[in-house]
Amino acid sequence: MDNSTVTNSEQHLVKQQQAIQNQCFHPQGDFRTFSKDALETSISARFEQQVATFPDRLAIKSDERELTYAQLNTIANHIALSILAGYKDNDTPVVLFIEHGIAMIYCILAVLKVGKIYVPLDPLYPHARNAYVLDDSKSGLMITNNENLINAKELSNEKTPLINIDEIDTNQPADNVNLSISPDQVAYILYTSGSTGQPKGVYQNHRNLLHGVMQYTNTLHICPHDRMTLLYSFNVNGSLLPTFGALLNGASLFPYDLKAKGFSHLAEWLAREAITFYHSVPTVFRFFIDALKGDEQFSSVRLVRFGGERVPTRNLSIFKKHFPPHCILYTGMGSTETSTIRHFFSNRDTKISESVIPTGLAIDEREIILVNDQWEKIETGEIGLIAVRSRYLALGYWQKPEETKKAFRPADTNDDQVRLYLTGDLGRIQSDGCMIHMGRKDAQVKVRGHRVEISEVEATLLKHSSIKEAAVVAWPDAHGDNYLAAYTVPYSGDKTTHSEMCRFLADKLPGYMIPVAFKFLETMPLTPNSKVDRRALPEPEMIRPEMDVEFVAPRTPIEEILADIWSEVLGIDQVGIHDNFFVLGGYSLVATQVLTRVIRTFNLEISQRKFFEAPTIANLADAIISKQLEQLSSQEIEQLLAEVGDSSTETKI
């Protein structure tokens, strides 16, 4: 920015932000600048440099396994050699069908080592969605393991070759494959929700990903002593910076599977592993804090980073309560297409009058321009569309040149590598240079940090044989988090239920894209232009929806306690003991919140997997009674059974 245009208020904010950033160092120091020269190499070459420098340093650790840099590199080399042995001349992308954890990490590294493109799939996503990604990516190979082999074979349908990494002997030494990989080689394809009714793949090269890691490293001073969380799924953009921010800097990465382990043990895990760098979306942070027992302190954490969605200011107050005085709160705005484009630093002295933390100040080599609908630049203080000008944007949308042309275009510069990307977000830049995010212009929303194109959900609803018209609207819940509500008009004479729609969508969409509420209408409200009048669609009443099972009220004290917990957490008036938690509008994060409260209330450990398999109050009550019986004497058992009566034995579905 030209210094002559910088206001006094902007100078003050920049100095304030710089002062906080200067505090953002690991106590042991040892920060090394991520040089721009590294952009002329590859991700795998940068990783192998860390292996040579820190062979015995901890690279990655889960509850089940831990590996040094040398051990991680050896396993990745073995898998890389297996890929080359059978698929050396195949330039098509490689799908990774593996659960959240260490195995996915060394498979990603293996694919990058041989100069191929990795496409991560989440085995927990619906089969239909994963099958679409497999077909759309034109993948020529799938890598999986024993845990996911059966589903991988079904997904590949014998058309895509498979490598089972559990059949590879990784115990012997294996040298680096030492292929020359251009920084302009495509590294990955990540699939996001698509406006055309199907997911679309955003693809990126080594150079641009390394640039994002360089900014991440140098902004937050990541060093080899850092111990960093990985809470994101590998198939979303949020996983990239923590994964490569750690492994390309000699730091230690700690994957934690929230879907499998929930929040009840997350606080103890953070303390036990002496985590220094916590990174998640704000919604996950809120659920994590809600699961705390009291005033837990996380003294080892030096930095909390939020990304993926707007950050309510109340999170700053929560941060100040639970994290040490030296800890910094960092919020970043970005997308799969751009990486981080704006950021804001906060500490204990930061005071913010707005309801959300500002999107923040500019980041080098990612210039923000606010434009109108004609792509013309607007003045400071006005609300406009956020466009990003940079040479480090994503390459485009895989196999979709027309969509790429709509979102990306050449910039008005002498450098033909610099392009503009129109984000679809609205923003306003204040006189101090700080940008405020004003929401979306189009039909895209954020749900629990995930990008959702409303049109994709609507298109999926219309595939149901009984649905004539469909509209989906995002509403804020009591915490300000978005949830989806679906409004449908059935064909004459057809009738469907909330339960049926949930089952139908669960086979086709990830959980975060499934509406929480369904409203069945006779006609859609229309605007004078005969378009759906979304403003006229009523906000859902939080009452028990019409379901396939008859309402049965709680019959025992345990069932009454559970019903009260469900009702409060889900925000609905009543819950039957045979109602399915997920059909009522629950999702995985809320389920972990329920289980945390159950564990705390009854002082018992309840299996999250067991709850997910049979998510009803009746089954949960049975599980609690079984756990209590395990801990009681025979006399106490007789007394308990007398209190609960025989009803608890009749609650199976």
Statement to judge: residues 522 and 580 lie in one domain: no
Lowest mean pLDDT among 14-18, 545-549, 641-645: 641-645
Is 502 domain-assigned? yes
- The C-alpha atoms of residue 173 and residue 186 are separated, in whole angstroms, by 28
State the average pLDDT over residues 351-362: 85
- What's residue 642's pLDDT? 66
Q: Is the pLDDT of residue 612 over 90?
A: no
Q: Is the pLDDT of residue 258 over 60?
A: yes
Is 495 domain-assigned? yes
- What's residue 652's pLDDT? 32
Q: Measured at the alpha carbon of residue 484, what is the angle toward residues 478 and 487, in degrees to the nearest 5?
A: 120
Q: Is the pLDDT of residue 107 over 90?
A: yes
Confidence of residue 635 (pLDDT cuts 50, 70, 90): low
DSSP 94-147: EEEE--SSHHHHHHHHHHHHTT--EEEE-TTS-HHHHHHHHHHTT-SEEEE-GG
Confidence of residue 6 (pLDDT cuts 50, 70, 90): low
- The C-alpha atoms of residue 297 and residue 347 are separated, in whole angstroms, by 16
Q: Measured at the alpha carbon of residue 11, what is the angle toward residues 6 and 14, in degrees to the nearest 5?
A: 120
H-helix or E-strand spanning residue 203: strand 200-205
Task: Answer yes or no: are the C-beta atoms of 282 and 315 closer than 8 Å.
Answer: yes
Q: What is the pLDDT of residues 198-243, one digit of tens each?
A: 899 999 999 999 999 999 999 999 999 999 999 999 998 999 999 9
Q: Is the pLDDT of residue 509 over 80?
A: yes
Q: What CATH number is given to the structural domain containing 568?
A: 1.10.1200.10
Statement to judge: residues 574 and 528 lie in one domain: no
Q: What is the pLDDT of residues 454-472, one digit of tens each?
A: 888 988 998 898 998 889 9
Q: Is the pLDDT of residue 487 over 50?
A: yes
Statement to judge: residues 512 and 574 lie in one domain: no
- What's residue 72's pLDDT? 98
Statement to judge: residues 580 and 637 lie in one domain: yes
Q: What is the pLDDT of residues 399-449, one digit of tens each?
A: 999 999 989 988 877 778 899 998 888 888 888 888 888 777 767 788 887
Q: Is the pLDDT of residue 253 over 50?
A: yes
- What's residue 651's pLDDT? 35
- What's residue 419's pLDDT? 93
Which of 536, 567, 589 corresponds to the end of one domain? Answer: 536
Query: The pTM is what?
Result: 0.83
Is 569 domain-assigned? yes
SS3 of residue 148 by DSSP? helix
- What's residue 645's pLDDT? 59
Nearest to 449 by CA among 588, 298, 243, 275: 588
Nearest to 97 by CA among 137, 63, 65, 57: 137
> Which range marks the domain in which residue 568 is found?
557-650
Is 288 domain-assigned? no
Lowest mean pLDDT among 41-55, 66-80, 168-182, 493-507: 493-507
Which of 478, 503, 536 corresponds to the end of one domain? Answer: 536
Statement to judge: residues 512 and 566 lie in one domain: no
- Render the burial of 277-295: b for 16+ CB within 10 Å, e for the rest: bbbbbbbbbbbbbebbeee
Q: Measured at the alpha carbon of residue 490, what is the angle toward residues 484 and 491, in degrees to the nearest 5?
A: 155
Q: What CATH number is given to the structural domain containing 499?
A: 3.30.300.30
Statement to judge: residues 561 and 476 lie in one domain: no
State the average pLDDT over residues 244-255: 98
The per-type count for the chain, helices as H runs and strands as E runs, is 20, 26
- What's residue 447's pLDDT? 87
Statement to judge: residues 528 and 457 lie in one domain: yes
Amino acid letter for position 416: D
- What's residue 350's pLDDT? 92
Confidence of residue 640 (pLDDT cuts 50, 70, 90): low
Q: What is the pLDDT of residues 26-82, one digit of tens each?
A: 988 789 999 999 999 999 999 999 999 999 999 999 988 999 999 999 999 999 999
Is 17 domain-assigned? no
Cα–Cα distance list, 231 to 142, 237, 259, 342, 354 (Å): 24, 12, 10, 22, 28
Nearest to 261 by CA among 238, 291, 236, 281: 291
Confidence of residue 14 (pLDDT cuts 50, 70, 90): confident
Q: Is the pLDDT of residue 3 over 60?
A: no
- Give the number of domains in the chain: 2
Indicate the average pLDDT of the chain. Answer: 88
β-pairing, 227-230 vs 252-255, is parallel
Q: Is the pLDDT of residue 545 over 90?
A: no
Statement to judge: residues 603 and 520 lie in one domain: no
Is 85 domain-assigned? no
Statement to judge: residues 532 and 562 lie in one domain: no
Is 457 domain-assigned? yes
| Three state DSSP letters for 433-500 | CCEEEEEECCCEEEECCEEEEHHHHHHHHCCCCCEEEEEEEEEECCCCCEEEEEEEEECCCCCCCHHH
Q: What is the pLDDT of residues 294-308, one digit of tens each?
A: 778 899 999 999 987
Which of 536, 565, 592 corresponds to the end of one domain? Answer: 536
Is 99 domain-assigned? no
Confidence of residue 2 (pLDDT cuts 50, 70, 90): very low
Confidence of residue 93 (pLDDT cuts 50, 70, 90): very high
Nearest to 301 by CA among 371, 353, 230, 228: 228
Structure tokens at 565: 């917990």
Percent of the chain with pLDDT over 70: 95
- What's residue 82's pLDDT? 95
Q: Is the pLDDT of residue 538 over 70?
A: yes
- The C-alpha atoms of residue 110 and residue 96 are separated, in whole angstroms, by 11
Statement to judge: residues 577 and 631 lie in one domain: yes
Task: Answer yes or no: are the C-beta atoms of 411 and 388 closer than 8 Å.
Answer: no
Confidence of residue 632 (pLDDT cuts 50, 70, 90): low
Statement to judge: residues 472 and 525 lie in one domain: yes
